Structure 1
Amino acid sequence: MNTMDSTPPDHAQTARPYYLACGNEERLFKAAYRQGLSILLKGPTGCGKTRFVEAMAHELGRPLITVSCHDDLTTADLVGRYLLNDGRTTWCDGPLTKAVRDGAICYLDEVVEARQDTTVVLHPLADHRRQLPIERLGVTLDAAPGFCLVVSYNPGYQSVLKDLKDSTRQRMVAIEFGYPPADAEERIVAAESGVDPKTAADFVRLAQAIRRLETGGLREVASTRVLIAAGRLVAEGLTPVEAAKAAVVGPLTDDVQVGAGLRKMIDLYLGEGTA
């Protein structure tokens, strides 16, 4: 079954999720939203795509429904199904249908992890029709005002066999993300974790060094997300070296040699002798 989260519609009572813009991504998103266009977010893991959508939903005053996609995700998981309840068969909307009815922003995270026969259901929603056919009910829903379809994926990580069809991609406006510039990333790490600016800067220098590595033993490079996790451990009293080894090395690799190399880098960049 899919993982679904929904934000409450009363955004006026909550603070805007922290997001530091590094380009024109906010302006692009709002323009696409106003025109009823679907949006494709492309970028590496942990660079802020999900937080960006949360911030935009807050600014636009729309509820947000998030679906974490996976290879067992079916069309019924998205659209809905009949369920047996107290001896009666009743229809239960899926997250996509709920978003269409309520005029919410529907965010499909890592959409290429879903089966291609599942993502085809997005086509009439993603183009000018803005409609969702529900075959089991024999109806076609028009998207309510405010509805917006947003999908994301990591083109550098997904395999060739797991890519979006051209027919899907060309129905969307693409916004490309990367890791923030060093000064912006330092501000993000400090704000999100509560560490001092020097510690945040040290973590960012370490991450940049890891991102320059050329090795097949890394699942991913060090993301802004893992730096924030390390910073939070420091806020709890761990040393930067301890925090980085726990939050960076383990999540990035299972390779013994690569892990040992990362630990040496951590000692070099974050050890007591560093300036």
Structure 2
Amino acid sequence: MSESVDIEQYKIKSEPYYEAVGNELNLYASAYEVRMPLMIKGPTGCGKSRFIEHMAWKLGKPLITVACNEDMTASDLVGRFLLDKDGTKWQDGPLTTAARIGAICYLDEVVEARQDTTVVIHPLTDHRRSLPLDKKGELINAHEDFQLVISYNPGYQSLMKDLKQSTKQRFGGLDFDYPEEDLETQIVTKESGVDKETAKKLVQIAHRARNLKGHGLDEGISTRLLVYAGQLIAKGVEAEAACSMTMVTPLTDDPDMRDTLNAAVQTFFG
């Protein structure tokens, strides 16, 4: 028998701030009603994880998040036997825990995981809604409240890092992108504490940088980085220094591209 799990530790106690861009709140709620597995696609820092946290809070469901990486094994997701003073003891992985207690299990940046790892989610994402623990000789029938959600950034797709069609076609999908200018300004103002005029300047710099994606930049400036910049400015850091630290240095090491980004910053804050 597995030890009882404190479900409350996985529940989000206060409302995560999230501004809807379209009808994604209603679409997700409807998908959850039928426990449809969901795929959330969008660029880095555009609000995917915050959206899932917000929906878990709104629905009152526990949320277990897994940050996927290329070293993650199937055992990291499902569980393994561990040695202790009494011998061996089974330790559930996060996916198994979520299936048992009826949590939303969120696999963040799932394409980072090896394909042989992602295969373990297949029986949970079709009519079976089950998880075989081969090493333990147990078959878990997922709790009726369990839902699996995965996310990834299509900008980083390649033949080596993409989901198999046999995996993709088990999920409904929601596309995410950076909000339009007025809404993003509102988000940056709320999240960082800067005034609306400063937030608007940060957003306009980001829009210029996003036009450089594929032309020297792998990714544009994320909403998350704009919030970081705003937080520093709100604390009294000089705007150009704050922007350089959060919106230029993290994005690129290319001197010419940095000059281009810094020139955009100086246009608005110089």
TM bin, normalised by shorter chain, reads: over 0.9
Q: Structure 1, residues 14-41: CA drift from partner, whole Å, max 9, x if none?
A: 3210000011111111111110110000
Corresponding residue SS for 1:8:
helix
How many angstroms apart in 2 are the aligned matches of 1:145 and 1:255? 50
- Compute the displacement of 1:160 (Å): 2.6
Matches within 5 A, 1:106-145: 106-145=105-144
- Compute the displacement of 1:146 (Å): 1.3
Aligned to 1:67: 66
Asked if structure 1 preserves the Cα contact closer than 8 Å seen for 2:11 and 2:57, the reply is no
Gaps of 5+ in 2: 1-6
Aligned to 1:166: 165
- TM-score between the two structures when normalised by the length of structure 1: 0.93
Runs of 4+ in structure 1 deviating by more than 6 angstroms, as ranges, are: none
Q: Which amino acid aligns with 1:257?
A: D
Aligned to 1:57: 56
Aligned length: 264
- Compute the displacement of 1:129 (Å): 1.4
- TM-score between the two structures when normalised by the length of structure 2: 0.94
How many angstroms apart in 2 are the aligned matches of 1:120 and 1:108? 13
Asked if structure 1 preserves the Cα contact closer than 8 Å seen for 2:213 and 2:220, the reply is no
How many angstroms apart in 2 are the aligned matches of 1:229 and 1:214? 20
Q: Structure 1, residues 142-171: CA drift from partner, whole Å, max 9, x if none?
A: 111211100000011232310111111111
Corresponding residue SS for 1:252:
coil
How many angstroms apart in 1 are the aligned matches of 2:251 and 2:218? 5
Gaps of 5+ in 1: 1-5
Q: Which amino acid aligns with 1:89?
A: T
Percent identical among aligned pairs is: 52
How many angstroms apart in 1 are the aligned matches of 2:144 and 2:196? 43
Corresponding residue SS for 2:190:
helix
Asked if structure 1 preserves the Cα contact closer than 8 Å seen for 2:66 and 2:108, the reply is yes
How many angstroms apart in 1 are the aligned matches of 2:135 and 2:147? 23
Aligned to 1:222: 221
Q: Which amino acid aligns with 2:135?
A: R
Q: Which amino acid aligns with 2:100?
A: R
Q: Which amino acid aligns with 2:242?
A: A
Asked if structure 2 preserves the Cα contact closer than 8 Å seen for 1:80 and 1:94, the reply is yes
- Compute the displacement of 1:219 (Å): 3.4
How many angstroms apart in 2 are the aligned matches of 1:204 and 1:64? 31
Asked if structure 1 preserves the Cα contact closer than 8 Å seen for 2:10 and 2:64, the reply is no
Corresponding residue SS for 1:251:
coil
Relative to structure 1, the CA distance from residue 69 to residue 184 in structure 2 (aligned partners, 3 Å threshold; closer, same or farther) is same
Q: Which amino acid aligns with 2:225?
A: V
